[in-house]
Structure 1
Amino acid sequence: MPDQTCQADHCDSRAGFSHAAARLSHDPATGHPRPPRREFKARGSFVERCPGCNLPALNCLCPYQARAESEARVWLITHPLEHLKPTNTGRLIRDVLPGTEVFTWYRTVPDARLLELLEDPDLVPFVIFPDDQPDYADRVVDIQAVSEVKVSGRTPVFILLDGTWRQARRIFRKSPYLDALPVLPLSTTRQTRYQLRKPASRAHLCTAEVAVELLRQSGDVDAAQVLDDYFDTFNVSYAASRRYEKIEVSTPAMLRLVARRTG
């Protein structure tokens, strides 16, 4: 049973904090609320953005958008907060691969279209997730399983859990409709080149980089290269815009994308 004296002290402390906050937010002479010292703006809200690619207009990504076809498909189960981040790289996959599906994750309300697609016998989905826990070890497969699906005439699907590492774990653990699917851990020596968020480790790849490696390892080499070039262009363009620098000289990745767009 909690100590009642401590509870009383806690209540007094909270009351004191509330009174102090009230003094700071109100004029002591009139008792009227004080106006804010400056207009509140979210980070980056003042930046002029391209309506097409949502990047800062200073280095728009639209001239480099190129499409590619792949035997494997990619589905993104995206945490709601990721949709609000212009630095999210999952949308790059949809720009490049026209068959990409994006589903917003809600714990108690699964996406109806996702549930429908999971019942399609011609599609074989793999949940991309590390094999670091024993309770789903019997579901873990390797990249060879993807090749076997292709040989059978069916379509492999990479399901990427699009969010922070903590969010991805929550999606994996709190989505019963994923429990029967094979788990495919990504095995790669690639280190991240992502410049817009600081990863806990260079081995932690962003969503687009994971897709690039999966496509490459499963034989969709052309699609992997186009997506990798598009990711590099996004990475460089956004980083330059943060420094308020206009890119004057195209990178090799940019040149390859432009050449693909022009045939």
Structure 2
Amino acid sequence: MLDETGQADLAEHDSTTGLGQGPAPGLFHDPATGHPRPPRREFKARGSFTERCPGCNLPVLNCLCPYQASTESEARVWLITHPLEHLKPTNTGRLIRDVLPDTEVFTWYRTAPDERLLALLEDPRFAPFVIFPDDQPDYAGRVVGMDAVGEVKASGRTPVFILLDGTWRQARRIFRKSPYLDRLPVLPLATSRLTRYQLRKPASQAHLCTAEVAAELLRQSGDTTAAQVLDDYFDAFNVSYAASRRYEKIEQPTPAMRRLLAYRDDDR
């Protein structure tokens, strides 16, 4: 999310090659929707040549598929994702969609906002909140607390947590350069939790990654089961990927992995 620095995963860009070659040379297709977009330079994440599981995209040494579990929540999560985040195997936003199938993912382009996102923002069934720090005075009047989420639920509408999925700089750009977000309430995440994310170096231990933010929001808003499943799934991803980087095979499931296996068995 807006706290993942991502610097360790960036490789050099090839300035001569279009990203995601499609039917026409240089044509870029949105990783989330498949729609054509303006061409970009090719991006390759560190570890792009690692043999990966086609199901979970983790190194096959520690495949995550046995631990994938899905659940439901009262609140929804919508991700506005920077284009480069789709291509980073360390991105945790995709874990949210694995656990919560109703999650929506939109790719951010400054000059070409996603039409489906714009339509959903107008849908009266939903009450969206932009998750962003309350550290600037120019939008202080839009800042709300978690009690506003409870009020939305009481009114019969579905609260939506909009997460800006990218590095801090990318997230701030999305927030500042997306006029369709200007009228939405801003909900800062208030928590004392520290990040457990091992795959990118955060600017601060207080900066949670995207999946951690979503889990904490769900927990605080009352979706405790969904929060626990997502938190455990993130933990399984985090540990599995970190072990694979060290070329270590996880022989025994962690406590989070065992809880996920139990949840899957109970859900059948």
TM-score norm. by structure 2 comes to: 0.82
Aligned pairs for 1:18-167 (under 5 A) are: 43-167=46-170
Q: Which amino acid aligns with 1:125?
A: P
> 2:201 corresponds to which letter in structure 1?
K
How far off is 1:261 after superposition?
1.0
Correspondence 1:172 to 2:190: no
Amino acid of the residue matched to residue 207 of structure 1? Answer: T
How much does 1:98 deviate?
Answer: 1.0
State which of 201, 221, 227 in structure 1 corresponds to 2:230: 227
SS in 2 for 1:191: coil
Contact 2:45–2:88 (CA under 8 A) maintained in structure 1: no
Corresponding residue for 1:202? 205
Equivalent position amino acid for 1:256 in 2: R
Q: Find runs of 4+ consecutive structure 1 residues off by over 2 angstroms.
A: none
* TM-score calculated relative to the size of structure 1: 0.84
Q: Work out the CA distance in 1 between the residues paired with 2:144 and 2:82.
A: 25
* Residue matched to 1:25: none
Q: For CA contacts below 8 A with separation 6 or more, give which structure has more relative contact order.
A: 2
Give the Cα separation in 2 of the matches to 1:71 and 1:165.
Answer: 28
Bigger helix fraction: 1
Unaligned runs of 5+ residues in structure 2 are: 1-43
Question: What is the rounded CA distance, in whole Å, between the counterparts of 2:45 and 2:167 in structure 1?
Answer: 20
* Shift in Å, 1:46: 2.7
Query: Any gaps of 5 or more consecutive residues in structure 1?
Result: 1-40
Kept in 1: contact 2:129–2:187 (CA 8 A): yes
Q: What's the offset of the Cα at 1:45?
A: 2.8
Helix, strand or coil for the counterpart of 2:77? strand
Aligned to 1:262: 265
Q: Distance in 2 between matches of 1:241 and 1:50?
A: 12
2:170 is paired with a residue of what secondary structure? Answer: helix
- Assess if the C-alpha contact under 8 Å between 2:45 and 2:89 holds in 1: no
Q: Which has the larger radius of gyration?
A: 1
SS of the aligned residue for 2:130 comes to strand
* Letter of the 2:113 counterpart: P
C-alpha distance in 2, partners of 1:42/1:97? 26
The partner residue of 2:215 within 209, 212, 215 is: 212
